[in-house]
Amino acid sequence: MKNFLFTSIGKKFAMAISAIFLMIFLLQHFLINITSVFSPDIFNMLSHFMGTNPLVQFALQPVLIFGVIFHFIMGFYLEIQNRSATKYEYHKEKGGANSTWMSRNMIWSGLVILSFLVLHFIDFWIPEMNYKYVEFLPDNPNRYYHELVEKFEMPWRVIFYCVSFVLLAMHLLHGFSSALKSMGTNKSYASSIKTFSYIYSIGVPLGFCFIAIFHHLTH
């Protein structure tokens, strides 16, 4: 098993596992954030639970941070490795004919998404850590909705947010199929999985864009 993880297939398999883990987190994050559109109270309640639950804070959160770092480092490593591994000239000449634009530019969409994550950490995670563990401010279960909405006051932030999620949608459309191939998914489920991948890859990022635009227009 140890040697397997150092092989090309093993690295792609580990990349696929980390991708699926991050997709589960993304869906959970979306389901919480969408409640801010129709019920600030529910959003505050869910956010407070996630922000104060010891299991989430001290077990799941470190795993999530590790998953994000691992996924991006491994993704960039595999992309650079693939680009440098071209042995035959026809690969260079016909590579574009056998691959999609997105598959050839995963590293660039990944960089934009990484930039967005850095901004997201600066906007939400770092202030949250400062609130609870640096300044030790009193617990306020009703603060989360206001903190979310005020981030979408500036148009440039909303635009960058939406552009990042459009690229994420394209990233997911390609990454979903690559992850399933790496994991050797049963072909009998291919049609159903492909349908689900389209619904997830387009629906979730579009939902995040809607949340940002909604709060910008209604604030």
- Tell me which H or E stretch contains 22: helix 8-33
pLDDT digits (tens, 9 = 90+) for 125-184: 899 999 988 988 898 999 999 999 999 999 999 999 999 999 899 888 887 777 766 666
SS3 of residue 6 by DSSP: helix
What does the alpha-carbon distance between residue 79 and residue 195 come to, in Å, rounded to a whole number?
26
Domain extent listing, the chain: 4-218
Closest by CA to 46, choosing from 162, 186, 141, is 141
The token duo for 104 is 């050839």
CB 35 within 8 A of CB 210: no
Q: Please give the pLDDT value at position 197.
A: 87
CA Rg value for the chain: 19
Q: Please give the pLDDT value at position 45.
A: 97
